[in-house]
Every structure is written in structure tokens, then in C-alpha cells.
Amino acid sequence: MAKIIAFTNQKGGVGKTTVCASVCGVLNSLGKTVLAVDLDPQGNLGFSLGADNLDDRYTIYNVMKGETELYNVIQHTETCDVVPSNITLSAAEIELTSLGREHILKDALDTVYADYDYILIDTPPSLSILTINAYAAADWLIIPLLPEILSLQGLSQLKETIFAVKKYYNQSLEIRGIVLSKYNARLILTKEVEELANIVAEQLDTDVFDIKITQSVTVAEAPAHGKTIVDYAPRSKSAVEFKNLTYEIIGLERPRETVKKLGRGRPRKYTP
């Protein structure tokens, strides 16, 4: 049975989609079956994973509207299965007015629940009905956060929404942790925000993950090739960070790193 993980933050630009896509890539490399659900009208997750989100194809919007079944929307990519999104999903807030609209996504995921080890959901940067659907369906929430003061301000409202959903729609919902992205340990501000993030995490009954994701050009390049960082640059520092973060998220012990020792100097010439 699948573990459903939603990546959420009402503030945009925090690396939410990048973290979600990268975790998909790592889970795939571990031999796990993964379904990635793009619940953001911008469609960035599907694009990053090489899915087709053209307007003439079914997307998660059609599923939410009850126009088709979820399995008709799933696309197969090199990384994982993907449920794409596009700008039409932005109309959901107005159009989804039926009773029980908070459980539409959960009901759809129930039809494929047994086919995957993990289902990862990328949510929009807002506290909309789409976000509530993700919370109602998820087992775990992951909150990506920039080490900036403004990035912390929205967490109080996010906390209220999470607790409300947990009370009324999903009592088993758990905040798995906060992940600091675009991290720069040399900055004093980064350390200060990290301390505040730990305080907020305690209020949310969770933790800040030990693994931090540092800023990297390579991470920004990967989506343009329709690949995750672990496929685009598997030996990069960023790929190692995302691998270790994924191990921490799913509670898997990190493999020990082995260093190949090299001999010193040039080999001696053979003398008869």
C-alpha cells in the first residue's frame, strides 16, 4: 500500500517542486514504484519529470471535475508515473462546489493506491481547495522552507490550516518535517532562521530535517532536460543531498560512503 506524501508551502519559490521531483527520482533509483501528482496549475512538476501537460490532454483537472478516472490521466516517464496539470486547474477553486469536495483527490487516489509504494503530491503555493484535498489525502506533509525571515511568516497560517484539516478531514495526517532549501551555511541569517525554524517545528510537533539542500545551478538545469537531479547529475553534491534527504524522509539508513584510496606519487619504473 502506498505512502502518500504532500509537499506544501503557501509561499512560492521555496523549492517545493524541486524537492518533490528529486525525491521521486531517488525513490525510483531505490526500485520503488512512484506516482507523482501535480496539483499546481503551473504544471511544473509534470514538466520537470518529462510529462506532457498540453491543453488537449486529460489532466488532474478532469479527474477533479469527475470527467474521467485517474488511471486515464497517468503518464509513464523514465522517472515515474505522473498525473500532469496545467492552467485549467486554476478554475477548480470556483468550480468545485459539491458536497465532500475536500475528498475528491483522496477518492481518486484510492483507485490506484495498491499499485504504488509512494504517491507524491506537489501542491500549489496557496491555501486553496486543492491544498486541502492534498492534506486530506496525505499520510505525511513535507514543508520546504527558505532560510529567510519572510519564508517563516506564512507558517502560522499554514499551521492553522493543517490542524483544521487534521481535525475535520484526516486525523492521521502527520507533518513529517521541514526541509531547508537553498541553504548557505556561511550566512549569519541562515543560522538565525534555522534556529527560528526549529522553534516553529516544535510548535508543529515535527522537526527540521538534518539534511539541508544547498543552492546549486545543476538543480536549476535538470528540469530543462525533463530529468531529476539524480538522473541529470548523479555524482553532484546536490544529488547526494537529495538522496540523503530521501533516506531521512522514509526512515532508511544511509549507505556508508566508501572512499577509494589512491597511492602517492608516480609508479616506480621497472629496473631489471
C-alpha cell read off for 15: 523549492
User: The pTM is what?
Assistant: 0.90
pLDDT tens, position by position, 222-236 = 888 888 999 999 999
Please tell me the predicted confidence (pLDDT) of residue 99.
Answer: 77
Tracing cell 492552467 back to the chain, one arrives at 87
Residue 256 has pLDDT above 70, yes or no: no
pLDDT tens, position by position, 148-169 = 887 777 777 788 899 999 999 9
Could you give the C-alpha distances from 70 to 60, 63, 205, in angstroms and in order?
A: 8, 6, 33
User: Computed over its alpha carbons, how large is the radius of gyration of the chain?
Assistant: 20
Could you give the C-alpha distances from 272 to 76, 92, 265, 267, 269, in angstroms and in order?
A: 62, 83, 21, 15, 10
Q: Could you tell me the pLDDT band of residue 189, with boundaries at 50, 70 and 90?
A: confident
- Which one has a higher pLDDT value, 121 or 200? 121
Q: For 187-212, what is the mean pLDDT?
A: 90
Q: Please report the domains of the chain, with CATH numbers, ordered by start residue.
A: 3-250 (3.40.50.300)
- Which one has a higher pLDDT value, 6 or 14? 6
Is the Cβ–Cβ distance between 176 and 36 less than 8 Å? no
Helices 237-250, 16-29: inter-axial angle, 10-degree rounding: 80
82 burial class (0-12, 13-18, 19+ CB within 10 angstroms)?
Answer: buried
Please tell me the predicted confidence (pLDDT) of residue 150.
Answer: 78
Q: What's phi and psi for 239, nearest 5 deg?
A: -60, -40
Q: For 75-95, what is the mean pLDDT?
A: 91
Is the Cβ–Cβ distance between 133 and 16 less than 8 Å? no
pLDDT tens, position by position, 15-69 = 899 999 999 999 999 999 999 999 999 999 999 999 986 767 899 999 999 999 9
Q: Residues 203, 183, 155, CA angle at the centre, nearest 5°?
A: 30
The contacts of residue 261 (CB under 8 Å, 6+ apart) are none
- Which one has a higher pLDDT value, 186 or 133? 133
CA distance 64 to 73: 11
